[in-house]
Every structure is written in structure tokens, then in C-alpha cells.
Amino acid sequence: MILVLGGLWIGQNVNLLPADASANAPVYDELFRVLFSIGTILFIGIVGLVIFSLIRFRRRPSQRGDGLAIEGNLPLEIFWTAVPAIVVLFVGLYSYDIYDRMGGMTPLNHGMDHSAPMHDPSPPDENGERVWGGIGTSSIQAKDGGAIAAVPIEVTAMQFAFLFRYPQGDFISGELHVPAGKPVSLRMEAKDVIHAFWVPEFRLKQDVIPGQPTVLNFTPTRPGTYPIVCAELCGPYHGGMRSSVVVDDPESYEAWFNANNTLEVADA
């Protein structure tokens, strides 16, 4: 009992994670706390049992005989088969729920996503190539009630940098700027080898794969500057392949966007 309460307390109160800065990060942290609590209870329980057994049942110099000849115990075996199975099932369903809330399950309905925002010279729907989903590959309209169009950004990963192209303003930036509170849709392509786009504060990662465009949708919440890290070995300078994402409040994003905009009339 103490173990369970202690585990829950540790799980709720020990924070091992960086700041949360996207809409799905608090959801993720919820899952993390649950897993951490269960893990702590299990780990401390088993370690305690091992240490207790080693001390309590150690062979004392006076003892010559064997231990008890217990070959097994069916009810006990069933118990410790059933309990982990239930826990694992619970964790699985729970993380499925979390995954769903993060928008991971949605592309189940449209694996062929033709409506990916491509404001290239080529018309958007022309390219019928398959978009390989990442987490949050959903349209996020439902989240804020109304249908907010996501800010489309095209990400190009190459050895050893990320480039961000804003099709609405037709300019390229070396730093990702996103407005707080608005959904963002990254369409990512790699030029050479596999990279991975990771923002620890967003709790999001998606591989950027040559030949297979991937999409990553998220809604930043907390203004600030966060690192973007390449998480897939991509060559000698892999460790140096970093960039940053600046979450601006909407006004300063607007200002930044207009300062860089090269199109005369900004898209509505």
C-alpha cells in the first residue's frame, strides 16, 4: 500500500521532462506520469523483494540443509500472469487513447492525403504521391472549435541543416517561426539521407525520409525559443544538425512574417 502510494506520489511529483510547449505535450506528460508511476511501483517492489530475499533467506553459517522444495504454485502463477496482462492491456488502451488525442489515429481514414498544402508552382493537388503520416497527421480544426486553417510550412532536411519555406509568403528561413495557438502543418522532405525532426519541448518527432514526404501537425502553445534536433544518424555532423523553433505570440509572428514576405499580396 505504501509502495503504491509512494509510487503514485513519485510519479506525480518528480518531473523529468523539459517544459511543454505544444498542445499535445500536456497530453503526453499525462501518459508519462502514468507510466512513471506504474514503473516506479513495479521497480521498487521488485528491488525490495530481491533485497529482502537476499537478506532474509541468506545462508547462515549454521545452516546445512536445503531450502523448501516448492516446485510451483498454480494460483500464484495465474495471479502474476493475469496482473501484468491487465496492467499491460490498460496501459495499451490508455496510450491508444492518448495517441488518438494527439491526432495519431486520424489518417486511418485517409492514408492518401491529397490535400497537403503545396503552394509550389505546381498545383497542389497535382502531386498524387502518398504522404506518409507522422503523429498528429490530422486536421486540427476540431481542437479550437472553429475551422482554423493550419499554417503550412515546407521543411527540407539536408546534410546538415533544416530549411523552412513559407509558401504563403514564398520565402525561406533557417529558423522555424510559428505562431502560438495556431495549428501548424509541416510537410517534410529530405534531400539526401534520413533525418528526423524533433522538438523535445513539443514531444514530437518525425523522420524525414528521402522519397517519402511526411507530415507533422502540431499546435504550439508556449511562446519561446526551443531547439530543433536531428534525431537520426545522418553523417559526421549529425550532432551539429540543430536549429531552433521560435514560438511567437500571434502579433510578433505577423510582424516577422510580413517583414520576410516576398509576395505582394499576402494570402488571406
Partner 1 sequence: MTVSLTPQGEQHRPSLQPTGWLRYFSFSVDHKVIGLQYLVCGFLFYLIGGALAGAIRTELVSPMSDFMPRDVYNQVLTLHGTVMIFLWIVPVVNGAFGNYLIPFYVGARDMAFPRLNAVAFWLIPPAGLLLISSYFITGAAQSGWTAYPPLSTTTAASGQVIWILSVLLLGGSSIFGGINFIATVLKLRRPGLKLMQLPMYCWAMLGTSILVVLSTPVLAGTLILLSFDIVAHTGFFNPGLGGNVVVYQHLFWFYSHPAVYIMVLPAFGLVSEILPVHCRKPLFGYATMVYSIMAIVVLGLVVWAHHMFTSGTPPWMRLFFTIATAFIAVPTGIKFFNWLATLWGGRIALNSAVLFSCGFIINFVLGGITGVALAQVPFDVHVHDTYFVVAHFHYIVYGGTVFVIFASIYHWYPKVTGRMLNETLGRLHFLLTFIGFNLCFAPQHWLGLNGMPRRVAEYDPQFAFINQLSSAGALLMAISTLPFLWNVVDSAFRGEIAGDNPWNALTPEWLTSSPPPVENWEGEAPLVHEPYGYGVPIDQIDLAAASGSDLWSSGK
What is the rounded CA–CA span in Å between residue 267 and residue 120?
Answer: 14
SS3 call for 75: helix
Residues 82-121: x where in contact with partner 1 by CB under 8 A, - otherwise, as a string: --xx--x--xx--xx-xx--x-xxxxx--x----------
User: Burial of 151 by CB count in 10 Å (0-12 exposed, 13-18 middle, 19+ buried)?
Assistant: buried
SS3 label, residue 265: coil
Site for partner 1 (CB under 8 A): which residue of 132, 164, 166, 218?
A: 132
Nearer to partner 1, 107 or 179 (CB): 107
Positions in 222-261 near partner 1 (CB under 8 A): 227, 229-240
For partner 1, the closer CB: 153 or 208: 208
7 or 179: whose CB is closer to partner 1? 7
Q: Which of residues 8-27 bind partner 1 (CB under 8 A)?
A: 16-18, 27
Longest dimension (CA), the chain: 93
203 part of the interface to partner 1, by CB under 8 A: yes
- Say how far apart CA 165 and CA 181 lie, in whole Å: 20
Question: Who's near 106: CB < 8 A, 6+ residues apart?
Answer: 137, 138, 139
Which of 1, 2, 13, 69 forms a contact with partner 1 (CB under 8 A)?
69
